[in-house]
Structure 1
Amino acid sequence: MNLVHSRKIVLFLIFCLFVSVVWAGPVTELSNNWKCAPIAQVKASGEKVSQPGFSLSKWKPAVVPGTVLTTLLENKEVPDPFYGMNNEKIQDIYETGRDHYTYWFVNDFRKKAASGEQVWLHFRGVNYSCDVFLNGKKVNDEWHYGMFLRQVYNITELLAADGNNRLAVVVYPVDPVGNPNGGQGGDGVIARNVSHQYVAGWDWIQPIRDRNTGIWDKVTIETTQSVNLQNPHVVTSVPGVRLPGKNQDPAIIQTSAELVNAEGQSVTGKLIVEIGGKSVELEVTLDANSTKVVNLPELVFQNPKLWWPAGYGDQNLYSLTMKFMVDGKLSDEEQITVGIREIQRKWNEHTRSMQLAVNGQKIFIKGGNWIISDAMLRFTPERYDAEIRYHRDMNLNLIRIWGGALPERPEFYDACNKYGLLVIQDFWMSGDCNGRWVDPKKKDDQWTRRQYPDDHNLFVESAADMVKMIRNNPSLAVWCGGNEIAPPQDILDALRDSVLAKLDGTRWFISYSNSDSMSYNFLGGNGDGPYGIQPDSIFWQHRTWPFNSEVGSVGVGDAVSLRRFLPKENEVVPVEKPHSEAVTDDVWTYHKYIGYGKSIEPYGQATDMEDFARKAQLVNYNQYRALMEGFSSHMWDWYTGSIIWKTQNTWTALRGQMYDYYLDPNACLYGLRNGSEPLHVMCNPVTKMVSVVNNGFTEQNDLMLVAKAYDMKGNENFITQVIVYINPSSTKPIMSVAGSLKQAGGDTDGSFLLLQLQNQKQEVLSENLYWFPNAAGVYSGLQAMPASKLQVSAKIVENNKVVVMLKNPEDAPVAFFNRLAVVDAETLERVLPVFANDNYVSVVPGAEKTIELECPQASGNNWKISVEGWNFANQYFPTN
């Protein structure tokens, strides 16, 4: 192991326990008026550049938070790398050398320190290394490096007397940068750094040319008095087995914080915690220029409103205030969002996998794998909120953050807390780069790669800092050592025995994502996957790993989505090359298209790209509905959970996504939403056995199952209406409908099957419409289906929300697979993101449906509604 520093891991652990950063007190973000220049154009030293009088007349505007590449794109110096093959037009750092993407970043800001104040400069993320200067003085004593290690500096004495300050930061790229040779993580040496690995290319993305060099996360100025309150820690304990919505037994809240005394004399004060009208406090004396970790007395919280995962209960959140008072005056204060909950785990001997529980109730995991919100690190709270809301709307309850990316930002966790998504957070390892497999594309041999990164101490130090940053989030459920591989033994030991044991101690830690301790691999292979198109029957009939950390499929968007990044000449039907992942069109191949095999052909050969994308949505919907229904059908028997690879894209890739990079959903999202319903009725595509799934914690009584079949002309064949009872957290087979489907003409033209669960008020609690092919496996009836007579009306019911009424007359065929969108009334461009209570909807004869469409980020509401169905030509309808 080549250690850059000579310090031992144990020393780093001691350091991490007592020195770190957090965002507190009155805080100002430095996000405007940044300028930058490449290092080759700056001959002056940092001391000179950081003097307010140094001329920046030839410097360009910079994007901070951001990267060099985002700045170049903003200044129109490079083309959009997400469009077509533009990425090939941008110079790669492997060819140019690191100096090409080494940049100075400068910000002029106003700040004076009043008497008794301490002023702190925070960096939440710089990639990869940097030196910092302020007003002609160097700020950092030692060269800083490490993408995920935050920085904090007391700059009180460095501030200008007149309040006019200049901050200058020189940022250097990772070293080595890696050869983007087409391998997973290129030649693998990118993993010698403690940074993300995908930037050298993966099977779902092309290389990021600057390897995301820059001040990529927030820069803030914090003001406190003599004592700075840092890294507050909140742990909630919820003993026993709880039910949502009930009066609760007490919960226990334990709190602690790091207190930093910046004064040259001892300070005595009170550390106070307040939540829900309750408070605890402790008198503390701090030595001069010292840092101390302080544990407060535990707080007993009566009748708490608990936090539950999505689909199981409400996501109740409290605001906890932690403050330090000196002589009755506030020195520093933190506001922390708290969800009162406890996460447990238990080994299921029957499935041979771990099962998770929240507040004593076992949770069947329906998850999605997440890489990163944007490959070029353009993060916003609004985008995070939209993406996590989509995951909630898919009826998922967990997101796993893949290990080749990053520790997710607090804004990501804010959204997960809000929408009830549990999180598995990987550390920065991958089986591809870190040596699990022999790989001819890798520069170093397997044993050398097994010891990546070069600086193990930096990895551990960064991990400790990350734990402190995100450990208070109720959504954070599991720590994971790496993607498909455990870290080297010394790092693994430090993570488990020191970092997590001392800084968290409340969450399950798995050594790697498909570890036997998570899901016993009795099937051979890697313990996850497969990743391509599969017959719907496979998900129901073929047993796979009992807690599959990665199982995935296709995900091409519709024609509107594809045209956002495919040049006109590449709007073609992708033709797969034999024995290859490539297709005949270079741009489709470049954007990592994963083939649909023979799944499109039963709907008829695609005539053009639009027709292909239209038929692909039928496959998308069925693929992900069947995936989650198949796993749910064997809940607690074969499986304790499944995590889809993957649910979102960081780039304009043509595979594995429920919505595209531009936040436009495709049919995958709504097929998954249907198949993942907490209370759900479903049909095995092979046996035609109808089953009911109850993911809830209570028995469901007096449900009415209604089953009807329809032929292609819309003629109804009533099958059954029967009362159903089902226990909590279980799946129950009810009856086979195979014979009834044949009577509806299924062998000749195919048929539709409508399943509903109704309550005693005849309200529909779950609805599922299947379309089945004829006896030869061809959707001949769909190909010759009569035109829909769908009637559409829409009205705006409140700001940013539209209600659309869909009505199908009695004497009509099924109005099949209708895609609704909100569009600008003048341009007819889609308004994004849009959240719908359903989409790709079908309406049987004589039925009506109400669809709600919400556009929370839309400005104005001069909209129309577009509706396009399988047998309904695209039309636009006004919103009244």
Structure 2
Amino acid sequence: MIGRLLTAVLALSLLAVPPAAGADHVPVVPLVPGKVMTVPGWRMQSSAVATQGGAEVSGARFGDRSWYAVPARSTVMAGLVVNRKYPDLNYSTTLRDAVNPVDFAVPWWYRHEFAAAPVPGRHTFLRLTGGVIARGELWVNGTMIAGTDRVAGAYPRYEFDVTALLKHGRNAIAIKAMPADPFRDLTVSFLDWSPPAPDNNMGVWRDVRVATTGPVSVSDARVLTALDLPGLRSATLTVKAELRNNTEHPVTTVLTGSASNRPLYHIVSLAPRHTQTVTFPAITVHEPKLWWPAQFGDQPLHRLDLTAWTSHGLSDRAESSFGIRDVRSELNSTGARQFYVNGKPFGVRGGGWASDLYLRAQPDRLAAELRHARDLGLNTLRLEGKQEDHELFELADRLGIMLLPGWECCTKWEKYSGWTDEDYRVAGESTSAEAKRMVNHPSVLGFLIGSDNAATARVEQAYLDALRGADFPAPIIPSAAAKTTPVLGKSGMKMDGPYWWIPPNYWYQDKLGGAAGFASEVGSGPAIPELDTLSRYLSPQEIDDLWRDPDKPQYHLAKKEVFAKLTVFSAALTQRYGAPKDLRDFLRKAQLANYEANRAQFEAYGRDFADPVNPATGVIYWMVNNAWPTLYWHLWSYDLASAGSFFGAKKALRPLHVQYSYDDRSVVLANTGLAAVPGLTVRATAFALDGRVISDKSAAVTADANTARRVLDVPKPDVSGTYLVRLLLQDAAGREVDRNIYWLSTSDDVLDFPKSTWWYTPTTAHADLTGLQNLPPAQVSKSVTYQRDGLDVVLRNDSSTVALSVRADLRTAPGGAQVLPVSWSDNYVTLWPGESVTLHASYQGARRPHVEISGFNV
């Protein structure tokens, strides 16, 4: 038998299948073992229009030419948008006014035809890589192969043997997607993140594939890695896979392949219709090339390739990439969750991720957003019930961004008391499917089985069984809130807010969302874009209302009442910076407010990461991006433009960084790398607004690895009102490594913590920053050098006054459209008289864009 197998391996030649007769205008599926075809697109129609039954709709040559042509992964709304059914749904209240939700109260049909030539002895499967939202019927060539009792929920994956149903020539697949309700179904929703998708994301949102194998199928190939800690001199790789006998007869198979170029070989005998987990002998790798988060090192990826052979030749194959790394977590002495990557303490500095509102597959946009995250210096993205598809995980692997997925709050996912036996099944299948999809991705930091609440004992056990059954290799955490479950115990996390505006010194308090422990979702709420962005999404009246009538609800704020108005933000802006005189004044002050608030959040958590008494082990900014254009909860706006929110956070997240503390006036040197950096000098200078030096101190320091420490203090100045502090970090050669500018007040913001709510803490007194609006106009010159990878712009302050928050922007021509997206080395910079700074911009599209300069007083 073995000899015949090896002979077949050597003699195998793959046969191309020619198009079947009558297969014009439809793709041909080569039914060759190991080959998988992703359905490239669908025809889609409402069942109110296509009233025929499934047997007729899934018949070959059914007339669907009048249906909507939609992409491979397409919810109903996504399909209608791509067919230009509606005007711009991002603008003003169009999403509310132009879409009739009645259209989605009935099922919708998806249909696809392909040509094939079935071959005896080969097995063809219909695979759903994710569920049908909210549930579905699957039909092939007039036969229903699964109904809504089986295909339910957004995340389970399914595989059906359709070999007996395939015909020589034209074949048809039809899927009937049922209406969705996030409080009735285990699906995907957006809560208060944005307006809901009118269709509640019903439809086919992940790939559907047609796969062919021989007698034996290979699935879920995975590599489990174990490191020699703390030395990191060797790693043990354990390769596992599932083998399934698709026949009614015993089969012997040879499973061969390699993992990280180490050969694999195993002979397996399978009983009829039996599935077996195959575990190869462990592989020891000496001096392994380890995968690290970007802040710690490089991201080498290795290959896993497996092929199953039988006496009939090649039967199936599986391949994947993986990284060699170790992720662990524990509760520290204060009960906070602390993560470790390859044995090194890992301070999570992350953001909450939002998928597209219609769950569209947009690889180019996804790549641009993850580049923004890497450019910012974020090291983690939290995925709350929106796990995206394989592209996000692959990008995160390559970019060194950790991912913290888990289930969402507040919908059916956490309404445990109303769960049925079907819900337990679907939840377990969903978790198993996601775990199997993530198991080889080194970017996965853990899995949150709950968000705002703790799972019941039965729910927790269902999740644990699914995760452990898939060999999920990262920590499993009971909740993103401070909850406790029967098996996993305490979460080690907190979810105390805020979600709306608070002053910078809030983050330095050891209360609620302040810098202590692990905060799983916190942020300062409103994030006001610049005028270009506002004009893309808001009407002139809505833009005017931002500063003239902040008590008026805005559709591009949240539907939830506490987040529907800019009242709190506007009142603080007026008290701290002075009442806006016009739109331009409002926007320039809003950028300063967003910059300082977001910078403070990340700096506070960075400073206290290694605090010996109450360390701040992690923080997730709420949120990093938007599902749809909004005026809150983002670090970059929906059009990928970056404003004050972005650059305040980017400043705080620099890998070698000097920063000011709002609580004790200390100057802190932070280093997020794994190597100490000696020979540095920190200088802190305080200035009156007229340019007079109030204090000037410096210190020679070493930036210790993966920690932060206080190195100086800034004396309280003998002035009244507003003043400025400049922090400079220089290396041994006198080169500037980092600069950081603060606008401060001799009077502090005062927080009323006893009156805190779940969403914010009131402020009873405000810092006085009104002096900034009296700064004289500054003159800043620029010189631009174009390069292959972007451009450099040198900014120089040619005036006798400080130039505050100077912004560089790229346009197609003077006064032309913005060039987006752009990655800036820095922006919203402040220059004293005679100072200059060089900014680098990387961009796509425009050949030699125009550089436009503006600023708070420029």
Cα distance 1:456–1:609, how it changes in 2: closer, same or farther (>3 A)? farther
Q: Which residue of 2 aligns with 1:567?
A: 539
Deviation at 1:686, TM superposition (A): 4.4
Q: Which residue of 2 aligns with 1:380?
A: 362
Q: Of 199, 221, 231, which residue of structure 1 is paired with 2:210? A: 221
Matched, 1:27 2:41: no
The answer as to whether partners of 2:337 and 2:492 remain within 8 angstroms in 1 is: no
Deviation at 1:24, TM superposition (A): 10
With 386-395 and 668-677 compared, the bigger mean Cα shift is at 386-395
Q: Of 319, 328, 341, which residue of structure 2 is paired with 1:335? A: 319
CA RMSD of aligned residues (A): 3.0
* Partner Cα separation in structure 1 for residue 38 and residue 103 of structure 2: 33
Deviation at 1:383, TM superposition (A): 2.3
Deviation at 1:487, TM superposition (A): 2.4
Matched, 1:196 2:188: yes
* Partner Cα separation in structure 2 for residue 514 and residue 576 of structure 1: 38
Query: Which stretches in structure 2 are left out of the alignment for 5+ residues?
Result: 1-31, 748-765
Q: Which residue of 2 aligns with 1:352?
A: 335
Deviation at 1:861, TM superposition (A): 2.1
The answer as to whether partners of 1:366 and 1:397 remain within 8 angstroms in 2 is: yes
Deviation at 1:373, TM superposition (A): 1.9
* Partner Cα separation in structure 2 for residue 30 and residue 812 of structure 1: 65
Q: Of 94, 118, 122, which residue of structure 2 is paired with 1:86? A: 94
Q: Which residue of 2 aligns with 1:15?
A: none
* Partner Cα separation in structure 1 for residue 694 and residue 671 of structure 2: 27
How is 1:695-710 mapped onto 2 (pairs within 5 angstroms)? Answer: 695-710=672-687
The answer as to whether partners of 1:713 and 1:812 remain within 8 angstroms in 2 is: no
The answer as to whether partners of 1:667 and 1:840 remain within 8 angstroms in 2 is: yes
How is 1:119-518 mapped onto 2 (pairs within 5 angstroms)? Answer: 119-125=124-130, 126-140=132-146, 143-162=150-169, 164-174=170-180, 177=181, 190-198=182-190, 202-241=191-230, 248-326=232-310, 329-349=313-333, 351-370=334-353, 372-402=354-384, 405-428=385-408, 430-431=409-410, 448-449=417-418, 451=419, 455-496=423-464, 498-504=465-471, 506-516=473-483
Secondary structure of 2:171 counterpart? strand
How is 1:696-845 mapped onto 2 (pairs within 5 angstroms)? Answer: 696-712=673-689, 714=691, 719-739=696-716, 741-742=717-718, 747=720, 750-773=722-745, 777-798=767-788, 801-809=790-798, 812-825=800-813, 828-845=816-833
Amino acid aligned to 1:533: W
Cα distance 1:43–1:689, how it changes in 2: closer, same or farther (>3 A)? closer
Deviation at 1:723, TM superposition (A): 0.6
Cα distance 1:225–1:845, how it changes in 2: closer, same or farther (>3 A)? farther
How is 1:4-23 mapped onto 2 (pairs within 5 angstroms)? Answer: none
Amino acid aligned to 2:499: Y
The answer as to whether partners of 1:593 and 1:653 remain within 8 angstroms in 2 is: no
TM-score by length of structure 1 reads 0.84
Cα distance 1:326–1:587, how it changes in 2: closer, same or farther (>3 A)? closer
How is 1:39-78 mapped onto 2 (pairs within 5 angstroms)? Answer: 39-78=47-86
Q: Which residue of 2 aligns with 1:865?
A: 851
Q: Which residue of 2 aligns with 1:535?
A: 503
Cα distance 1:448–1:229, how it changes in 2: closer, same or farther (>3 A)? closer
Percent identical pairs in the alignment equals 25
Cα distance 1:329–1:589, how it changes in 2: closer, same or farther (>3 A)? closer
Amino acid aligned to 1:326: T
Q: Of 568, 573, 588, which residue of structure 2 is paired with 1:600? A: 573
Q: Deviations over 1:729-763 (max 9, x none)?
A: 33322222225x54xxx536x33322122221223
* Partner Cα separation in structure 2 for residue 686 and residue 134 of structure 1: 66
The answer as to whether partners of 1:90 and 1:209 remain within 8 angstroms in 2 is: no
Amino acid aligned to 2:35: P
Deviation at 1:519, TM superposition (A): 11
* Partner Cα separation in structure 2 for residue 795 and residue 166 of structure 1: 57
Q: Which residue of 1 aligns with 2:520?
A: 549
Deviation at 1:589, TM superposition (A): 6.5
Deviation at 1:376, TM superposition (A): 0.9
Deviation at 1:357, TM superposition (A): 0.6
Cα distance 1:593–1:308, how it changes in 2: closer, same or farther (>3 A)? farther
* Partner Cα separation in structure 2 for residue 62 and residue 831 of structure 1: 29
* Partner Cα separation in structure 2 for residue 672 and residue 630 of structure 1: 12
With 826-835 and 331-340 compared, the bigger mean Cα shift is at 826-835
TM-score by length of structure 2 reads 0.86
* Partner Cα separation in structure 2 for residue 105 and residue 401 of structure 1: 28
The answer as to whether partners of 1:519 and 1:548 remain within 8 angstroms in 2 is: no
Query: Which stretches in structure 1 are left out of the alignment for 5+ residues?
Result: 1-22, 178-189, 243-247, 436-445, 873-880
Amino acid aligned to 2:140: L
Deviation at 1:726, TM superposition (A): 4.4
Q: Deviations over 1:648-700 (max 9, x none)?
A: 21122221110112222222121111112232211123442212123333433
Secondary structure of 1:35 counterpart? strand
Q: Deviations over 1:88-115 (max 9, x none)?
A: 225564x66721xx11111223333456
Deviation at 1:424, TM superposition (A): 1.8
The answer as to whether partners of 1:280 and 1:299 remain within 8 angstroms in 2 is: no
Secondary structure of 1:139 counterpart? strand
Q: Of 670, 689, 692, which residue of structure 1 is paired with 2:647? A: 670
Deviation at 1:249, TM superposition (A): 0.8
Amino acid aligned to 1:681: V
Cα distance 1:260–1:821, how it changes in 2: closer, same or farther (>3 A)? farther
Cα distance 1:24–1:859, how it changes in 2: closer, same or farther (>3 A)? farther
Cα distance 1:540–1:39, how it changes in 2: closer, same or farther (>3 A)? same
Cα distance 1:806–1:318, how it changes in 2: closer, same or farther (>3 A)? farther
Cα distance 1:241–1:582, how it changes in 2: closer, same or farther (>3 A)? farther
Give the length in aligned residue pairs: 792
Secondary structure of 2:437 counterpart? helix
The answer as to whether partners of 1:573 and 1:608 remain within 8 angstroms in 2 is: no
Q: Deviations over 1:529-588 (max 9, x none)?
A: 1222112112123434521112111212111111111112221143699xxx96355665
Cα distance 1:272–1:846, how it changes in 2: closer, same or farther (>3 A)? farther
